[in-house]
Structure 1
Amino acid sequence: MANDPSALTAETIDDIRIPTRGGQVMRVGPAVSLYHARPRTAETTAAVAHALQLFLDLAGPHIRFAGIDGQHLLPISQTDPAALPAFVTQQDPARGFGLHLHGGADRDDAHPLYFRCLLPAAWNPQPMTYVSMGLTMARQMTEGLPPLTHWTADAAARFGAWHGSAGFALTAHGAWSHGKAVMADVASVLDRFPGLDYPAQGAALHVVREGPVAANWITLLADDLADRIGGAAKVAEVITGFGGQVRPWAGGLSLIAAGAPQIGDTEQGMTAESYTIPGRLIASLRGAPDAAYFPGAAGRDMIAFGKDWRARFD
């Protein structure tokens, strides 16, 4: 992959496998990550259910495993996927709730087709709800599905996102992705391929609660965040002035960098340069710059790495 970027196609991207020193395998694929900082209410719970329904409408027949409320991933045959959105809305708001679905061949596959969400308990004094959805490139390009730009805007509106991002992302299986050896490999991959996103997981929620994480091919901002950097018209002027697009959705904007989504490769001098335009635009909105976005890694200062990684497009 790294030595011949021109060989990347829908099918070859779906087949990318990056081994770790511990024997696990990371994957690459398009992903959408959405965040909001509202307290847990019936409305926020319904927003997660709406996003889940959108994902199931797209990928439901391809899901193979489900992990519900912290349980081990089980074959989807033991669950009724169609009932999951209603199941989410029925959860006790006094308890946190999580859900993980993926389309891999086995439960430990870091498959690029996935859905993850976390709903905090209603009593949590610092709430943060997130949804991350991974989509395989071959499905996006070959099955007549809506373009990622349209689908992301729809998902952001349904979820009521405060901020988020979409583009190529590195996928690591949730059961082992916080291991120190694995995180060292994650950092090495992200160092080399700056266009890759890394969706926040539980350890990073105190960061995304404060503001956007980083820019990517699509950078999502709620209207109040856009207002802090000059308003929707000013944001659109900057993005379109450099060849990008701005797509409004109910409650916010999608800032789409010029050209196609990129992975980049610093060893070949490819830095996903078009992402610097939205990156510099949102730099002042990023919160908690010195906080840990990544878990610890063997032999690496991940707080310093996270700070640099989040600012890589400034």
Structure 2
Amino acid sequence: MRHLFLIASSLAALAAPGVASAACSPAFVGTGETVNLTGLSIGTGEVKREEFNLRVRNLDGGGPGTCNATIRVTRVGPADPNMPPYTLRSGGTDIDVLSFAGTAGSPNSDVLIPNAPPGPNGRAVPFQVTLPTPWGLKAGVYVEQLRFTLLDSSGNQADTQDVTINVTVPRAVSLRIVGATGSDEVSRIDLGNLSTSQASMSDPFALRIWSTSAYSVNFRSLNSGNLVRAGGDDRIPYTLTLDGQPVNLASTNNDYRYNDYTTALGQLHPLVVRAGPIGAVRAGFYSDRVFVTVTPV
């Protein structure tokens, strides 16, 4: 009897850890999450980052055993080809977002959660969405839904939680004058010595415009399309063309609209200035200042 008793006692000691380790039922604490990427700065090297946490717990917790789980991420529905490309990270590792549920995992698609704790709060699993925001994006609101699937240690689905990614790309523009001397803010076009027999023409120059939306270009001439002699009232009319079309510099109501956003390289709009042949005017230095304004619409 004592020998049988010792065997029974030994079996009970071996069985106890097995019961504890089986007490693992991983689950998400929350039911959904929304990540909003707004207030974006558009330009070379610009990036927007947003962090969020998903909390994981063990519903059957309380024992001394471990409860390991894995998170795998898939898209809900087809990918939107217009969605600005972003990366999803956890713990410094880029996560592969799989195309649809049931897709086999990859080395970077699974996030391991070791020993999920019991209790109502669980453990926070950190994630980060990183969105580069260079020129070439189109203004608008973009939405993508991701499904975070929680797998138990056997690879079976234990729970799911959806995360909605909202991206708002603002209307934004940037302007640069190329082919002219000067800084980005003030550029100079020199027609040289004007002739009494033929028109003088500027060297090629242009506006390079970046925009996330349709945009308009407006010109305002300080002297209504005339070169004015320094220290005097003598005037020489000149013409300015944009994309081959004459600009009415005598009016401030001369908006030129372009109905699409630009690529990352921007859109080039050639400009040409012509003056002369001149009549009987006094010698001197003649100039005008033109203000160019680009507005997203």
Bigger proportion of residues as strand: 2
TM-score grouping bracket, smaller chain normalisation: under 0.3
Return the TM-score normalized by structure 2: 0.19
Task: State which structure, 1 or 2, has the greater radius of gyration over its C-alpha atoms.
Answer: 2
